[in-house]
A and B are shown apart, each in its own frame.
Chain A
Amino acid sequence: MLHDVFEFRRDDYALSDDQAALQASCEALFRRSGSPTEEITGRAGQRLNESLWKEALQTGLIHMAVPEHRGGDGAGLVELSIAAEALGYYGRRIPLLESMIAVRALARLPDAGLARDSLRAALDGTELLTCAPTQPAGGPLVVPSGPMATALLWWRGDQIAYARMQTHAEPTAMLSGLPIFFDYRPREQNTVVLGDGAEAQQIWTLVGRELKLLVAAAMVGAARRALDLAIEFASVRRTRGVTIGSLQGIAHPIVDAEVALTTARNIYRKAAWYGDNEPSARPDLPLRAFLHAATVAPKVAQVAAHVHGGAGVALESEVVHCLLRVRGWSVLFGDPRQDLAAISDHLVGLRKEGD
């Protein structure tokens, strides 16, 4: 079979009541825990929003990423991506995506030694974990949320490695505003190998896919925030006696953006569902979800910024920060199109299976 649009499957993207409640509670938490002004003025800087992080831990946002038999609440990727989209929408300074993925990786390792201790520390809040996506060209690491983290997981050749973060390392100022260490080199004396071989490779492959899935969700959230701002602006800004949103030249690009963003949200939800329920059926889906979000979300945010006119390029406007945040996430793993090869391999593989 070439493509799953002809597969006989249900096609339901709606959240369950529990998932909708999680979405509402995440949004409420992130909404009250900061303000756009902090982001815009740069006061938040690269520092951790400590009170929010504490609250996120208390409400179980990290626990839910870990299976119950390893001390967590055993939520799935669907739930994690709901939280990721809400975080993307509000742009708060906590390493939620990276920590959720890192603790999942630790929970997949044998329940012993540093992996066990680090997982426990992450769950009780004494350790703040991040993970570095593998860079296609190798070399120094890009560490998202590195300036906030106390420890790092990364892929060293054929090993899952753990390192304490160097406290003196200076964060790199990024146009995107994302807290990040660029060109980071963990010290050898700080590094411990947690796993190697085929099993470790499998775990790290999941780290990459799941982080891409959550980043896709976060991009959708940030672009949705930008779009909401644009709709609000277009509904009150007037020209020649009418609101600019009533003009097709403004309304139709907004609608196109909203439709595209709906598809980006739906495809990441679908990828999350497959990850939770049929993980081996569609290993290409997280890559598709990321690629689509990385294609769509920056365009949506650009349209949203443009609707604001001159205000849409001023650094004092929130919409610009949504745009830059989305752009930063879209290249976190390098060229967003690098997964096209893997997606096409999957496509060709499906045809061979069908022969």
Chain B
Amino acid sequence: MDFSRLDGDPEVAAFINEVQGFLHANVTSDLRARVRADGGGLDPAFQRALGERGWIVPDWPVEEGGAGLDVDRQLILDSELIRADAPVMQVQSARMILPALQEFASDEIRDPIVAGTAAGDIAISQGYTEPDGGSDIAAVRTTATLDGDQWIINGAKMYTTGAHLCPYSFLIAATDPDAPRRQGLTMFLVPMDARGVDVRPLYTVGERTNSVYYDDVAVPDRYRVGPVNEGWRVLSAPLAAEHGLVAGAAGRSPQDLSIMHTRRLALSLEVAMRWAERPSASGNRPIDNPAVRERLAMVSVAVEAASTAFGLRGRVASAQTFVDGASALVDLVGPASLVDDPNQPFADVGRWYGLSHLATVYGGTVEVFKNLLARELGLGSPRS
């Protein structure tokens, strides 16, 4: 058990200063406005700036495009990225996918794409979910058929966030539709400028994502990632990372998405506190009302409690706490929280509220994680 301060170490303190200075210089209000207007969670210039420092894959060795950071520094970096409200969607995506590319991509594409992604020059969206499959990633209807030395891909993917900005999509397709479930699947890195790729925006309560249609899209075999019909094996590591199943030092992995949810709720609480401290027209401050203070305190306790859970438990606790807490803060702040104008002082409470709903479906619904936990608890496979 250890909750000791990290910033007592001068080297760590210097690193914190470096991160904060970088974010102060690079995450400008213009950048935030641009990213919000687009909604895709990616700013190419910022992605490159991160890549230059090796911070897209910060745990990788410097010579491989990373920064060689230990777990403590990785957690500091990620926490500060979230606090700065920096666009990190495609950073997270790259971290999940790159290890699989490194292990399974063909010799012809591996080095340039892995190096380019680590450098921030390339971003890769995730083409997993399908219209009829939902969280059941293995229920793949998109097909890839070998035709000479290329694959012909047909089908549709949903919620491919960043597809309109990323040059590649890491896509799962059925290559043997008659094979048993999870067999007969193959992973591809699909160039999004290929003929037949149609990206259509899908606006959600918090961000823009995409529906992507693949109509006879020809992909050279060199873009196949891993052996034919072994896509589930290739995808298992990225999915485990997305589900929070990758253990880090002392249980917490820097890839743990639950960190993002609880910190975002903390940011919303911060805005709500500012609202509560501002005098109304009558001169009264909400914060002086004990009922308001206590409700803020309840959210604060919920944030702190959910922050203690890791992995699958963290995914469940943080998503549910984010939804409940963000909603409670909308109740408190009232209509001022729901003004759809980023220049309004309390609009972020509404923005985080919108995004909170995505937290319960990112990388699978929380019910998927509950099913996995039920199995872990010895309850067997839940049935619907």
Which residues of A approach B to under 8 Å, CB–CB?
2-16, 19, 78, 231, 234-235, 242-243, 245-248, 250-252, 254-256, 258-260, 262-264, 266-267, 269-270, 273-274, 277, 288, 291-292, 296, 337, 340-341, 343-345, 347-348, 351
Q: B175 → chain A, closest Cβ, in Å?
A: 32
CA separation between A4 and B308, bound complex, in Å?
12
| Given A13-B308, A341-B294, A3 contacting B382 (CB threshold 8 A) | no
CA separation between A246 and B367, bound complex, in Å?
14
Contacts of A269 in B (CB 8 A): 1
CA separation between A266 and B310, bound complex, in Å?
10
| Given A3-B270, A264-B305, A270-B3, A252 contacting B370 (CB threshold 8 A) | yes
Report yes or no: A13 in contact with B1, Cβ–Cβ below 8 A: yes
Report yes or no: A19 in contact with B1, Cβ–Cβ below 8 A: yes
Contacts of A292 in B (CB 8 A): 301, 305
B286-306 residues with Cβ-Cβ distance < 8 A to A are: 287, 290, 293-294, 296-298, 300-301, 303-306
Q: A157 → chain B, closest Cβ, in Å?
A: 25
A-B contacts, 5 listed (Cβ < 8 Å): A3-B300, A3-B304, A5-B304, A254-B374, A296-B305
Interface centre among B76, B262, B290, B317 (most CB of A within 10 A): B317
Contacts of A15 in B (CB 8 A): 1
* Interface pairs A-B: 10 shortest CB-CB: A266-B308, A344-B293, A245-B379, A12-B250, A344-B297, A251-B374, A246-B380, A340-B294, A263-B305, A248-B382
Report yes or no: B4 in contact with A10, Cβ–Cβ below 8 A: yes
Report yes or no: A340 in contact with B382, Cβ–Cβ below 8 A: no
Report yes or no: A16 in contact with B377, Cβ–Cβ below 8 A: no
Whether B75 sits at the interface, judged by CB under 8 Å, is yes
Q: A8 → chain B, closest Cβ, in Å?
A: 4
Main secondary structure on A side of the interface with B: helix
Contacts of A347 in B (CB 8 A): 273, 293, 296-297, 300
Known contacts A246-B383, A292-B305; 10 additional CB pairs below 8 A are A2-B266, A10-B72, A235-B378, A250-B379, A260-B317, A267-B308, A337-B294, A341-B294, A344-B293, A347-B273
Report yes or no: B297 in contact with A10, Cβ–Cβ below 8 A: no
Q: How many A-B residue pairs have CB under 8 A?
A: 183
Contacts of A234 in B (CB 8 A): 379
Contacts of B383 in A (CB 8 A): 242, 246-248
> Which residue from A248, A255, A288, A348 sits with its C-beta under 8 Å from B316?
A255
Contacts of B7 in A (CB 8 A): 8
> Which residue from A13, A254, A296 sits with its C-beta under 8 Å from B251?
A13
Contacts of A337 in B (CB 8 A): 294
CA separation between A270 and B250, bound complex, in Å?
14
| Given A5-B304, A341-B294, A10 contacting B6 (CB threshold 8 A) | yes
CA separation between A251 and B12, bound complex, in Å?
43
Report yes or no: B266 in contact with A5, Cβ–Cβ below 8 A: yes
Report yes or no: B374 in contact with A255, Cβ–Cβ below 8 A: yes
Whether B228 sits at the interface, judged by CB under 8 Å, is no
Report yes or no: A9 in contact with B370, Cβ–Cβ below 8 A: no
Contacts of A248 in B (CB 8 A): 367, 370-371, 374, 382-384
Report yes or no: B379 in contact with A267, Cβ–Cβ below 8 A: no
Q: A317 → chain B, closest Cβ, in Å?
A: 20
Main secondary structure on B side of the interface with A: helix
| Given A10-B250, A263-B317, A340-B298, A3 contacting B266 (CB threshold 8 A) | yes
CA separation between A262 and B83, bound complex, in Å?
26
Contacts of B308 in A (CB 8 A): 13, 262-263, 266-267, 270
Report yes or no: A344 in contact with B294, Cβ–Cβ below 8 A: yes
Whether B224 sits at the interface, judged by CB under 8 Å, is no
> Which residue from B250, B294, B304, B382 sits with its C-beta under 8 Å from A247?
B382
Whether B95 sits at the interface, judged by CB under 8 Å, is no
Whether B164 sits at the interface, judged by CB under 8 Å, is no
CA separation between A254 and B252, bound complex, in Å?
24
Report yes or no: A259 in contact with B1, Cβ–Cβ below 8 A: no
Q: B90 → chain A, closest Cβ, in Å?
A: 23
Q: A235 → chain B, closest Cβ, in Å?
A: 6
Q: Mark B80-115, 1 if CB is under 8 A from A, else 0.
A: 000100000000000000000000000000000000
Whether B208 sits at the interface, judged by CB under 8 Å, is no
Contacts of A343 in B (CB 8 A): 297, 300-301
Q: B345 → chain A, closest Cβ, in Å?
A: 16
Report yes or no: B1 in contact with A348, Cβ–Cβ below 8 A: no
Q: B145 → chain A, closest Cβ, in Å?
A: 36
Q: Mark B1-23, 1 if CB is under 8 A from A, else 0.
A: 11111110000100010000000
CA separation between A248 and B383, bound complex, in Å?
6
CA separation between A250 and B371, bound complex, in Å?
11
Contacts of B384 in A (CB 8 A): 248
Contacts of B252 in A (CB 8 A): 11-12
> Which residue from B6, B250, B277, B317 sits with its C-beta under 8 Å from A259?
B317
Closest chain B residue to A247, Cβ basis: B383
Contacts of A254 in B (CB 8 A): 374, 377, 379
Whether B263 sits at the interface, judged by CB under 8 Å, is yes
Report yes or no: A258 in contact with B373, Cβ–Cβ below 8 A: yes
Contacts of B269 in A (CB 8 A): 2-3
Closest chain A residue to B369, Cβ basis: A255
CA separation between A16 and B2, bound complex, in Å?
10
B22-44 residues with Cβ-Cβ distance < 8 A to A are: none
Interface centre among A6, A7, A10, A337 (most CB of B within 10 A): A10
